[in-house]
Amino acid sequence: MSVTVPQASTGPVDLVGRRVRVKVPATSANLGPGFDTLGLALARYDELEIEATDAAAHDIEVHGVGEGEVPLDETHLVVRAMAHTFSRVGVEMPSIRLVAHNTIPHGRGLGSSGAAIVAGVVAASGLLEGVVELSADDLLEIATELEGHPDNVAPALFGGLTIAWVTPEGPRHKKLIVHRGVSPLVLVPEHEMSTALARSLQPQSVPHEDAVFNVSRSALLIAALIQSPELLLQATEDKLHQNYRAQAMPETDRLIRVLRAAGHPAVVSGAGPSILVLASDPSARAEAVRLVEESAETAWQPLPLAVDFLGATVTPVAD
Ligand SMILES: Nc1ncnc2c1ncn2[C@@H]1O[C@H](COP(=O)(O)OP(=O)(O)O)[C@@H](O)[C@H]1O
Ligand SMILES: N[C@@H](CCOP(=O)(O)O)C(=O)O
């Protein structure tokens, strides 16, 4: 990453009074075979307003998802992401006042941690406007350093369907537009599952034939998502992660089998436990919801969500 920091402009005092509004979409990563690579931005958002202040400490207010649960100090994930961004560009972070209105469920495989990290990174870049310019690659690199894998933060930053990959120079992405014949449906259970726990269930190595299987399906999945949705059922097959994690989310695994047997392209959303169905139209979505209502032993919330095409936005707020 190469950024230019004009020395005369650095320091917290220069930023006091600057205020930005940030909006970040939910994401569904992996999409079946595209482990740690593919992700889709979904039209459900966390919205935040962040102001640089000269107070002695941060002042954090959370409404909606996470209210009363997430920390309200410098360990808050958005604040940690801001601090990391300021430190990466060599500028001292000011105290902030942060008000968050969250709707992305936590620990359900809808990229809440990726969205919080992206919120912090773009908020920092917004507050630093005119002081430090961060490129799209810089934002992706800083966010990936915290999230550990680029497949959630890429669609949260850029919107649409993203392919993300890691190079020696840092992570890179390609954004694609999803075919109109894809109507995403997310089914969200009441219980959570931490991404860290799901990742601990992954083996260090996989059989060569399973790797070949996933190479073929993830290549096919790009064609299916942008051009040929009728191929989505075959294109969403996976042998790299879902089976290894099934023991930790048995109902997710069972419902996905029920949905797929009925012809619905259903996959684990991110690290789970939510299910993503890449339905062909609203009536297929309704049919998938009905099947889950009939087969589930616990309550699952159906969320029909459009694809978000914009990704994270940051807007300066005038007094
Ligand atoms: N908006 C947020 N503000 C603060 N912390 C958050 C926020 N979103 C997520 N987190 C943190 O990330 C955790 C969930 O991360 P993770 O296990 O990766 O699940 P997910 O699949 O939702 O990304 C939450 O329990 C919380 O600690
Ligand atoms: N590729 C990651 C995706 C995690 O997504 P999340 O929404 O569950 O945080 C993985 O499968 O571990």
pLDDT along the chain (319 residues), means of 10: 52 80 98 98 98 97 98 98 97 97 98 98 97 97 98 98 98 98 97 92 96 98 98 98 96 98 98 97 96 96 98 94
Class of domain 13-173+307-316: alpha beta
Q: Quickly tell me which residue has 């940030």 as its tokens.
A: 22
Q: DSSP letters along 120-140, please?
A: HHHHHHHHTTTT----HHHHH
Q: Are 132 and 5 in contact (CB under 8 A)?
A: yes
Ligand showing the shortest atom-to-Cα distance for residue 62: 1
Q: Are 142 and 3 in contact (CB under 8 A)?
A: no
Residue 14 pLDDT:
83
User: Which residues in the chain are classed under CATH 3.30.70.890?
Assistant: 183-304
Please provide the CATH number assigned to the domain covering 183-304: 3.30.70.890
DSSP 3-state of 183:
strand
CA 64 – ligand 2 centroid, Å:
22
Q: 39: closest CA among 206, 221, 200, 168?
A: 221
Ligand showing the shortest atom-to-Cα distance for residue 271: 2
Pick the residue whose CA is nearest to atom 4 on ligand 1. Answer: 77
> Is 103 exposed, middle or buried (CB count within 10 Å of its CB: 0-12, 13-18, 19+)?
middle
**Ligand 2 pocket mutation, candidates 30, 113, 166, 241, criterion most atoms within 8 A of CB:** 30
Dist CA 143 CA 133 (whole Å)? 16
Dist CA 61 CA 223 (whole Å)? 43
- Given the CA of residue 147, which atom of ligand 2 is nearest to it? 9
Residue 238 pLDDT:
98
Length of the chain: 319
User: Which residues in the chain are classed under CATH 3.30.230.10?
Assistant: 13-173+307-316
